[in-house]
Amino acid sequence: MRLTTEKDNTTAVLNKTIEAVDSVTTANDQMSKSLEKAALIGITNLHASAIIVRKGGKIKETKRASRADKIRVCYTIAPNTIAQAGDRVLYVQVINPDNNIIGNTSNITFGQDLLTYSDSATVFYENQALDVCVMVEGVPQELVKGLYTISVFDAGRQIGSTTLQLK
């Protein structure tokens, strides 16, 4: 009878311990997911403009698709002390009004996802704010009147988007 009582008490304590371990494991998983989200980088001040490149290398902005040579995409990588420092490749995708990706397009796969992008920039991120500009080459038949959609990706995740209207 005493052994049965001790066994029941031990089983009750074991069940409480298992419940405590399960709740701690769940809390750890949620905290890990939150930390992963916090470690992702973000961008601010994303803006795009059409530019004309003169023979001397001088750059001039334009609003006319017929005069544009390139699309310049500039943004600031936001500071993040939790994000891992080091080389980062950020991908820029410029979609013209005809829904075509312009520039020297390339493809890259992230897990199951395929990203077609216009250009990329490799930067050394040191957890501080960093300004980046990318020039996307355009050919006359790709640079047409209308609304352009510009997106920036980090490891397959879209971190910013803007639009550009050309006449």
Separation between Cα atoms, residue 35 and residue 31, nearest integer Å: 6
The torsion angles phi and psi of 104, rounded to 5 degrees, stand at -85, 80
Query: Residue 148: CA atoms inside 13 Å, Cβ hemisphere, count?
Result: 32
Residue 2: both structure tokens together:
């005493």
So what's the pLDDT on residue 37? 65
So what's the pLDDT on residue 54? 84
Q: What is the total residue count of the chain? A: 167
Q: What is the pLDDT along the chain (167 residues), one digit of tens a residue?
A: 888 888 888 999 999 999 989 888 888 888 877 666 666 788 889 999 988 888 887 888 888 888 888 889 999 998 887 788 888 889 999 998 888 888 888 888 888 888 889 888 898 988 888 899 999 888 777 888 999 999 999 888 888 899 989 88
So what's the pLDDT on residue 151? 92
- Separation in Å, CA 153 to CA 21, 46, 88: 38, 12, 11
Separation between Cα atoms, residue 122 and residue 48, nearest integer Å: 19
The torsion angles phi and psi of 70, rounded to 5 degrees, stand at -145, 165
This prediction's pTM: 0.75
Q: Hey, is 129 helix, strand or coil?
A: coil
Among candidate residues 72, 70, 22, the one with its CA nearest the CA of residue 47: 72
